[in-house]
Amino acid sequence: MVQLVWVLVACMMYTAMGSTRISLVSTSIFDVTKYGAKGNGKTDDSPAFMKAWKAACEAPSNVRRSILLIPARRTFLLRPISFNGPCKPSSIYVQVSGNIIGPTKKTDWIGSHIDTWLEFTRVNGLTVSGNGRIDGQGPIWWENACIGTPTPGTTCHAPAALMFKRCNGLRLNGLTHINSPRVHVTITACNGVIISNLRIIAPETSPNTDGINIASSTNVKIRDSIIGTGDDCVAISGGSSNIMISSIVCGPGHGISIGALGNGGADVVENIEVRNCTMIKTLAGVRIKSWQGGSGYARKISFKGIKFDSVYNPIMIDQYYCPTQTNCRTSTSAVKISDVTFSGIMGTSRMDNVINISCSRSVACTNIVLDSVYISSATPGRKVFGTCINAHGRATHVKPSFNCLKR
C-alpha cells in the first residue's frame, strides 16, 4: 500500500508539472499521518504537520524532492502555523488530497500570530496542489474581527488564510479555498509564480475576503480559476510587475483591481495584463484605484477580452479612492497613471455610468486607450454614459459614445 501511494503521488506530480520527469530515487514522501496527525477534524494536527514539514524540509542531501502528503478522506484541524524555509531539497511538493480546516473558536488563536493562518516563507521550488479543500472558518470573524474586548479605538484585522512570502518558483493549483477570515491567498515578494485551476468561495457579504492578493511580486500568472467572494477577486498592489491574469470567472465580488495605490507612500505597478475574464454581478468590473496624496506610477496595463454580466461600475480609474467616504484626503500629489488599454470589452451594467475615468486634477492620466468597448444597460432601453476627469488618450469603436478624453 505504501508503495502504491508513493507511485500515485509521483504520477500526480508528473501531471501537475507537465513534461518534467520525476526521479523516484531522489524523491521522498512524508505522510502527515505517519507523524501523528489524526485527521478527524477535532484533534489539533498542527504539531504533527510541523514534524512532517521539518522532516521534508531537512531531508538528506540525496533527496532532491520532498513530498508532504496530506491524505484524502480525512479532515485536518490546524491552528496558526508557519512552514519556513529555506529547505534542503531543491523542490517541495505539498499534495493536499484531504481537507484542512481552521480553528472553530477565536480563543484558539490566543498566543499565535494573528495576521495569517497558514504561511509559507522562503520556500523556493514549492508546489501546493491537489483536489482538497481549505476552510478558514471565516464566519466567526466576519461580524467582529477582534479577539476578546479590545481597547476602544482599536482596529482589528482578521487573519489571511494562506500566505506565501519570498517563495520563488511557486506553483499553486487545483485546490478549493472557502470562507477565509480575510484574504484567501496572499502572494508577497515572490518571483515566478503560477496559480491555476482554483476555486475560491465566500459569501458576497463577507468583508475583505479577497480571492488572491499580489504584493511586491514579479512574473506572476493567474489563470483558469473561479472566484466568488465578498471583495476583489484579484487585487494587485504596489511593487508588482509582469502580472498576467487570464480566464478568470469572477462573481460575486469586487472584480479585478489594481490598487489601492499611494496610501502613504510611493507605489509602482507596471506590465499588467488581464484578458479573457468574465465578471458576473460584481460590484466593480476592471479598475485602477489610488488614494489622493500618493506618488509613484501605474503604467503599461491592459484589459482585453473582458465580459460583463450585470456588473456595477464596469470600467473605472478612480484616483479619489476613499472607501469610507469620511475624512477623505485632498492633495495635489498623485500616482501617475499612463499607458492603459481597455479593448475587446462587452457586456451589461447595472449602473448608468459604465465608463468612469476619474484622474487627479493635478496629475493627468495619459495614453488611455479604449477600443472596441460595447457596454449597455442590464435594464432594457435604459441609457448609459461615460465620464472623464483630466484623462488624455483616444477612444475608437466605443458605445456609449465616449468623447471626453483629451488629445
At 154-164, the pLDDT tens digits run: 888 999 999 99
Question: Could you give the angle at the alpha carbon of 97 between the alpha carbons of 96 and 101, nearest 5°?
Answer: 70
Residues pairing with 377 in the sheet = 349
Among 343, 305, 336, which Cα is nearest to 319's? 336
Alpha-helical segments (H) within 34-170:
46-57, 139-142
**pLDDT tier, 18 (very low <50, low <70, confident <90, very high otherwise):** very low
Taking residues 350-373, what's their average pLDDT? Answer: 97
Q: How many CB atoms lie within 10 A of CB 310?
A: 17
Burial class of residue 232, CB neighbours in 10 A (0-12, 13-18, 19+) = buried
Q: Which grid coordinates are listed for 248?
A: 478568470
Distance CA 381, CA 392 (A): 30
The pLDDT score that the predictor gives to residue 154 is 81
Burial class of residue 252, CB neighbours in 10 A (0-12, 13-18, 19+) = buried
pLDDT at 132 over 80: yes
The least confident of 2-6, 37-41, 338-342 is 2-6
pLDDT at 1 over 50: no
Distance CA 240, CA 390 (A): 26
CA 79 vs. chain centroid, Å, equals 22
Indicate if the alpha-carbon torsion angle 138, 144, 150, 151 is positive or negative: positive
Q: Which grid coordinates are listed for 138?
A: 471565516
Length of the chain (residues): 407
Distance CA 67, CA 89 (A): 10
Taking residues 165-169, what's their average pLDDT? Answer: 98
Distance CA 321, CA 358 (A): 10
The pLDDT score that the predictor gives to residue 114 is 86
The least confident of 218-227, 273-282, 286-295, 297-306 is 286-295
Q: Of all helices (H) and strands (E), which one includes residue 16? A: helix 2-16
**pLDDT tier, 21 (very low <50, low <70, confident <90, very high otherwise):** very low
pLDDT at 2 over 50: no
pLDDT at 75 over 90: yes
Taking residues 127-135, what's their average pLDDT? Answer: 98
pTM over 0.85: yes
Dihedral pair phi/psi, residue 26, rounded to 5°: -105, 15
Place of cell 478624453: 405
The per-residue pLDDT of the chain, averaged, comes to 92
The pLDDT score that the predictor gives to residue 175 is 98
What single string gives the DSSP state of each residue in 296-316? Answer: EEEEEEEEES-EEEEESS-EE
Place of cell 496572499: 186
**pLDDT tier, 25 (very low <50, low <70, confident <90, very high otherwise):** low
Distance CA 88, CA 90 (A): 6
First to last CA, the chain: 70
Q: Which amino acid is located at 327 in the chain?
A: N
Q: Residues 288, 317: contact at Cβ < 8 Å?
A: yes
Q: Of all helices (H) and strands (E), which one includes residue 391? A: strand 391-399
Active site residues: 231, 254
